[in-house]
Every structure is written in C-alpha cells, then in structure tokens.
C-alpha cells in the first residue's frame, strides 16, 4: 500500500509532501513505501501500534506481505535515525517558529516497561512511567520548545552498565561497537553538543535533578555558551550569598606553592535545604507561571545568588555566582523543589520560575507518543529496531505538531484526515485474547 494513494484533501497533500521528505531521509528506494506506510499506520486509529496490527490496518487484503515490509524497514534496514530526525526538524521547526520563538532546549528521559531480560537495555531500574523500580528500558531525549509546542530532536537508549559489559547480549541485540556505557547526563550533554553544532537556534537548557545534580553536565552546558535552569536535590551544597571558599594558603617559600581553595570547620558551604530554611519570610514571593486547566498555577518562591560548592576545594578558582531558585508550597512543612540557573543577576523572579516550570511541556509529548502513537509498543529486541520505531513515532508526531502550529490545536493521532481501511474480520494480533497460540 502506498501512503500517497489518498484523496486530494489539503491535509492529505501536506502529509504526502511530508512523507516524501521522510522517504528521502531513508536513503533507498526500497524503503520509500514501507517508511511512508509505517508513519501512516502510527497516525491511524487503533489501540496497538506494533507492526502486525498496523499491517492489518494498512493492507487488510495482504497482511502478511505488509507485515514483512514494515518489519524489515524498522528492524533491519540500515537508515540513519539522525538523518530522519533532521528531516522532521526541518519540516516542523519553521511551523513552530511562526507562532513563537524557540524558548528552551529540554532534556528528559522516559521509561518503557518491558518484560524479560533479552530486549536491548531492559533491566530493573527506576521507571518514571510507573514511578518506581521496574523491569524497563529508559531513553534520553532532547526537545526544542516554544511557549506552546515542543518536539524531540534527539533520542537514545540508556544502556545500563550490566548491558554494556555483556558481549553476548550486545551481539544478540546488535548494539553498535562504538556504544559504551554512558550516564544519562553524559548522553544528554552529547545530544546538546550535536544540536549546537547543527546550528539549531540557541535557547536555555532545562532539565530535572537527575541531570542538574551532575556538576560536569552543568559545566558542559556553560562551556557551549548556553544558559540553563536545572533542578537539583536539596542536598547539593552551595555558598550562601556573599560567601566563597577560602583563598589558597599563603606560600612560605618552602615546597610547592599551594594552588587550591580551602574550607575549614568554621567556613563551610551549606546544603540548598539549609540555606532555604534560613531565609527570612520576606524572601518568599507568590508567583503565577501559567494557567492550569482549572485555575492559575502559583506557589511561593525565593531566589538568591550563590556559588555552587561541589568539590571546589580541588579547584584554584571559585565558581561564578548563579541563581538558586527554591519553591515552598504553603501547605508543605519545608521547601519542595530547587533549581540552579546561570541567568544574569538582573533576571526577574517571574522569568526564572516560568522557565523552571516550562519543562512540563515534554511530559505532554511523552504522553501522546505513548498513548496515541505507540512509542512503547515495539515488540522487537534489537538496538536498531528500538531506535527506528521511536524515530518514526517522533516523525509522525512532528507532523501533528506542525498541523497544530499552522491550523488546528486539536490535531491528534487518529483524527488526521487519512483514509482508514476495514480490518480483516478474523484478524487477531499475536498475543491478544482469542489469537491462535494465545495463552
């Protein structure tokens, strides 16, 4: 089934032109039809977006051949995810920028629950989807965002150390040789470096405490000439306003001159929580940052200029001042959230709060990618298939983002003006109740 064989509606014409761009990024004529069909299948109505049920929706008269074609292009075909995501960005970003400028680069990760131990990257680890330790795999992403829309532009599986060192499982799932163990902040920083090299409009980097706690991550962002507003845990140490580590010891002319900063029992940094609890009542201001579904969202915040203190007694110069932003709900016994930011000293509190809270926008992306576009429905075990499926989910989502930016904010998967064939009467996906061989 060709994804171009559709009625000449305006939206269908735009979608056909978009699919042509994606097909070019796939790099081979044999991949044109299956790439187009795969993206179409992701946007059609249906609860399950794995290969077999999509094949039945796309080509009910020949499910088996369609299944083989879709499976090959996502699991085996060696096209580059980076090229496909770049094609998505070149199409979607201009539509987003017509409505508003790029406001932030947002780092995040998402967990995908998965049974067994043979699918690439699966191990027992924290899964945000269920809010606890679970058998899952986790992927790190970088998104670009305006005030109203956002789009993932980079996506990579986090490969736990137990996987990166297991040669047998690496070979079985096709993990590339150049992939070694990296922490999530290291993966994210690599994605940010690539985005900066590609000339994407610069914007502040936003991330939660899983990334903001990492000093090297924050320093890497600064070295790229980017600002940040990143979450941290309450235990992160800082020097209170006006304070800094002690200077190096005065050289007495014997031995090597000392070069390191110092701290002692009387002169030590505080945790972010200790500093927050010591602030006067007048430091706390009520700030509204956006309209919620029922009412305006607001809370109490304080912002003070501090110096991060992590291991600065191994440095020869004190770190530059930056903002410590703190949130304390009136109903809570102590502050609940903390951020560090390299924005200038003149930045209004309201702007700091707005950006700190803007990271929520990618949660909407993940929700729709999972619930509407089947991000977590891929059933294969390999590295290539996992990334290809996610890339094509993002490609389908990119079209929805562009449509919302240009025309209809209500454009959703399953509501795009695409023809839907009738499913074969007796078709049952493998593993579903009533399917042949189902338990």
The answer to whether residue 392 scores a pLDDT higher than 70 is yes
Judging by beta carbons within 10 Å of its beta carbon (0-12, 13-18, 19+), is residue 126 exposed, middle or buried? Answer: middle
Between residues 83 and 312, which one has the greater pLDDT?
A: 83
User: What pLDDT score does 253 carry?
Assistant: 63
Distance CA 14, CA 118 (A): 40
* Three-class DSSP category at 254: coil
Give this prediction's pTM: 0.90
User: What pLDDT score does 75 carry?
Assistant: 96
Kindly report, residue by residue over 335-363, the tens digit of the pLDDT. Answer: 999 999 999 999 999 999 999 999 999 99
The H or E element containing residue 110 is strand 104-113
CA distances from residue 289 to 71, 210, 244, 298, 354 in whole angstroms, order as listed: 45, 23, 32, 6, 5
Distance, CA of 194 to chain centre: 15
User: What pLDDT score does 429 carry?
Assistant: 65
Minimum mean pLDDT range among 104-118, 368-382, 410-424: 410-424
Distance CA 434, CA 91 (A): 42
Kindly report, residue by residue over 85-116, the tens digit of the pLDDT. Answer: 999 999 999 999 999 999 999 999 999 999 88
DSSP lists the bridge partners of residue 288 as: 298
Residue 203's contacts (CB-CB under 8 Å, 6 or more residues apart) are 102, 103, 104, 105, 144, 145, 226
User: What pLDDT score does 47 carry?
Assistant: 87
Distance CA 272, CA 237 (A): 6
- Give the residue among 109, 85, 5 at the shortest CA–CA distance from 392: 85
Quick one: pLDDT band at residue 83, thresholds 50, 70, 90?
A: very high
Distance CA 129, CA 366 (A): 10
Distance CA 139, CA 383 (A): 12
DSSP string for 405-434: HHT-TT--TTTSS---PPPPTT---TTSTT
Strands 228-232 and 237-239: unpaired
Minimum mean pLDDT range among 6-15, 207-216, 390-399, 405-414: 405-414
The answer to whether residue 334 scores a pLDDT higher than 90 is yes
Half-sphere exposure of 378 (CA within 13 A, CB side): 25
CB-based contact 287:297 (threshold 8 Å): no
Distance CA 66, CA 69 (A): 5
The answer to whether residue 170 scores a pLDDT higher than 90 is yes
Structure token digits, residue 181: 């163990």
Distance CA 246, CA 258 (A): 13
Kindly report, residue by residue over 402-418, the tens digit of the pLDDT. Answer: 999 886 666 666 667 77
CB-based contact 196:224 (threshold 8 Å): yes
The answer to whether residue 209 scores a pLDDT higher than 80 is yes
Distance CA 120, CA 171 (A): 10
- Give the residue among 192, 92, 119 at the shortest CA–CA distance from 405: 92
Quick one: pLDDT band at residue 264, thresholds 50, 70, 90?
A: confident
Distance CA 121, CA 118 (A): 8
Between residues 314 and 192, which one has the greater pLDDT?
A: 192
Distance CA 39, CA 45 (A): 12
Distance CA 263, CA 84 (A): 51
User: What pLDDT score does 438 carry?
Assistant: 39
The residue to which tokens 């449509």 are assigned: 403
Kindly report, residue by residue over 44-65, the tens digit of the pLDDT. Answer: 998 899 999 999 999 988 899 9
Quick one: pLDDT band at residue 8, thresholds 50, 70, 90?
A: low
Distance CA 15, CA 12 (A): 5
User: What pLDDT score does 133 carry?
Assistant: 92
């Amino acid at each position: 089934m060709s994804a171009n064989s559709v009625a000449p509606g305006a939206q269908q014409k735009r979608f056909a032109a978009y699919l042509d761009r994606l097909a070019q990024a796939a790099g081979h004529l044999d991949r044109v039809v299956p790439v187009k069909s795969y993206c179409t299948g992701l946007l059609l109505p249906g609860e399950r977006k794995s290969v077999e049920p999509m094949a039945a929706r796309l080509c009910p008269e020949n499910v088996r051949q369609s299944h083989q074609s879709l499976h090959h292009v996502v699991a085996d075909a060696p096209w580059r995810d980076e090229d496909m995501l770049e094609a998505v960005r070149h199409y979607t970003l201009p539509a987003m920028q017509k409505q508003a400028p790029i406001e932030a680069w947002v780092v995040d990760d998402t967990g995908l629950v998965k049974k067994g131990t043979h699918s690439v990257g699966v191990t027992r680890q924290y899964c945000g989807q269920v809010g606890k330790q679970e058998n899952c795999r986790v992927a790190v992403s970088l998104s670009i965002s305006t005030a109203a829309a956002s789009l993932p532009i980079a996506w990579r599986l986090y490969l736990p150390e137990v996987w990166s060192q297991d040669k047998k499982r690496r070979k079985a799932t096709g993990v590339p040789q150049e992939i070694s163990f990296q922490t999530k902040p290291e993966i994210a920083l690599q994605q940010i470096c690539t985005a900066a090299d590609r000339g994407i409009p610069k914007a502040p980097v936003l991330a939660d405490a899983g990334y903001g706690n990492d000093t090297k991550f924050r320093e890497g962002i600064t070295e790229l000439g980017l600002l940040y507003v990143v979450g941290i845990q309450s235990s992160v140490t800082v020097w209170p306003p006006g304070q800094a580590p002690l200077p190096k010891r005065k050289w007495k002319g014997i031995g090597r001159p000392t070069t390191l900063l110092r701290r002692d029992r009387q002169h030590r940094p505080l945790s972010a929580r200790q500093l927050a609890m010591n602030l006067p009542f007048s430091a706390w201001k009520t700030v509204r940052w956006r309209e919620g579904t029922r009412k305006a969202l607001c809370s109490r915040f304080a912002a003070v200029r501090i110096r991060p203190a992590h291991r600065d007694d191994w440095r020869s110069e004190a770190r530059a001042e930056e903002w410590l932003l703190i949130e304390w709900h009136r109903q809570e016994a102590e502050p609940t959230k903390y951020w560090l930011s390299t924005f200038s000293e003149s930045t209004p509190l309201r702007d700091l709060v707005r950006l700190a809270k803007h990271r929520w926008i990618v949660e909407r992306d993940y929700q729709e990618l999972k619930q509407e576009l089947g991000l977590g429905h891929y059933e294969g075990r390999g590295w290539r298939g996992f990334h290809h499926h996610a890339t094509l989910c993002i490609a389908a989502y990119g079209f929805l983002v562009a449509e919302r930016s240009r025309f209809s904010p209500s454009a959703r998967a399953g509501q795009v003006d695409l023809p839907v064939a009738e499913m074969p009467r007796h078709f049952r996906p493998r593993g579903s109740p009533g399917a042949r061989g189902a338990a």
